[in-house]
Amino acid sequence: MRNLIYLFLIIIIAVTMSACSNNLGANNLNQTGLLDKSGNLITNTLIRTNVAYFRGSIPIWATNGKFDYVITTNANSGSDKDSIDIEIKYTNDVIFPDVPEDASDYYSIIVPYAGKTYYTVSYKDTNRLKQLWLDQVQRKGQSDGKVFAIRNRDNTRDMNNFQNLQNDSKGASRYDYYYFKDNGDIVYKGGDKNVWTNEHVMKKFVGAVIVDYRKVIERTDWHNNNYAADKIENTGEWTVGAIYKMATPVNEARELFKNGGEIEGAYDFIATRKWIWYFNNDFYQDKVFYVRQFYNTNFMEVLVLNRNRDWDDMSGCLGVDAYYAYYGSYRSQEGDLNPSGFTHENYPYMTDENLYLAHRPEDIVPLLTHTTTFADAMRGWRFMAMPGHKY
């Protein structure tokens, strides 16, 4: 009898530890980060500060419109621009790279479900990073015959098999999820609003980089008629992020997926639209969406499967987050082809993957100033990456 009790307890513990992300907890934080040239871990390469100093020129992320700041320039002796010290004071703390001189090219990163969990990889090794992303979405380390697929918005008809055939309110039968093709592209299984059996490519995979896991403390909103940016908390962990370009522009997606309900979720997956909130003695909802104005297929994001989301006892799942640079006005209407804020200077940071590929993650993170948490925004569990069958 005692042996049976022990066995029962062991089973309970094993089940508990397997929930969500293989028991990859916060106690493992010290296993990820930049390595110095001796192979030792450096964990404080991103700091929060309200003042920054530059010589010669200011990187675009330092004054990208998301922060309030004051610039002071002091000319030192000599005419060389490198002798000019530039000081920027921010109203609030910002994330700032702090890479020591003895840094190597290598990082220890965590990639759940890919195999051994932790990997040492160079930020310049784009082929290795690309393969790690593919190994993660294909769950190479699980050997359970399943891959990750992304459930569409509030598709909760059968959480044990969300990839089964669905029947909508109009009597049409279709599938309602997204899958990763072998090349990493993300395809909506279920197609457009007229032909439910068609599949539709949503995002094209163009490469991978090292990025940080994030937690969103406060989301993008308006308060007292002032724009309030996302407040991001870095968890201290590094992982692989996949650079995706929009295979479908926002306006095309808006027409294609406008039938409402779950189908409209496919539009949300591209547009990341949110209501803008205002305050006038009490909060009220404006009729203008905040819509990412991805009006052509050059626009890109870094997609992260984040294990740091709240799952409400969902097991074997990962959050779906998007990091991206965005300079458009949040008052832009849906369908705007030239939102205010898009300039010749900042447009490449929203569209050119080469400004990110093979770049040190500490330089990438400040550029990716916006974070969308698809998994826990609005409807619970929407767009979760969950185990399923291939396609």
| pLDDT of 366 | 87
| pLDDT of 375 | 74
DSSP 323: E
How far apart are the C-alpha atoms of 335 and 333, rounded to whole Å?
6
Residue 136, pLDDT above cutoff 50 = yes
Whether residues 266 and 207 fall in one domain: yes
196 pLDDT band, cuts 50/70/90, is low
Residue 216, pLDDT above cutoff 80 = no
**Between 38 and 22, whose confidence is greater?**
38
Whether residues 90 and 108 fall in one domain: no
Query: Of all residues in the chain, what percent carry a pLDDT higher than 90?
Result: 34
| pLDDT of 310 | 53
Q: Is position 24 within any domain?
A: no
By CB neighbour count within 10 A (0-12 exposed, 13-18 middle, 19+ buried), where does 122 fall? middle
Element (H, E) at 41: strand 41-42
**Using one digit for the tens of pLDDT, what is the confidence trace for 148-160?**
999 888 777 777 7
**Between 381 and 325, whose confidence is greater?**
325
Q: What 3-state DSSP class applies to 348?
A: helix
| Amino acid (1-letter code) at residue 144 | D
Q: Is position 369 within any domain?
A: yes
Q: Is position 329 within any domain?
A: yes
User: What DSSP letter does each residue of 273-322 carry, written as one string?
Assistant: -EEEEEESSSEEEEEEEE-----STT-EEEEEEES-S--TT--S-BEEEE
Residue (of 165, 143, 163) closest to 391 by Cα position? 163
Whether residues 137 and 120 fall in one domain: yes
Q: Is position 342 within any domain?
A: yes
Whether residues 62 and 128 fall in one domain: no
pTM of the model: 0.84
**Using one digit for the tens of pLDDT, what is the confidence trace for 85-112?**
888 988 878 888 999 988 999 999 999 9
How far apart are the C-alpha atoms of 212 and 362, rounded to whole Å?
9
User: What DSSP letter does each residue of 181-209 carry, written as one string?
Assistant: -TTS-EEEET--SS-TT-EEEEEEEEEEE
Residues of the domain holding 195:
104-388
| pLDDT of 379 | 45
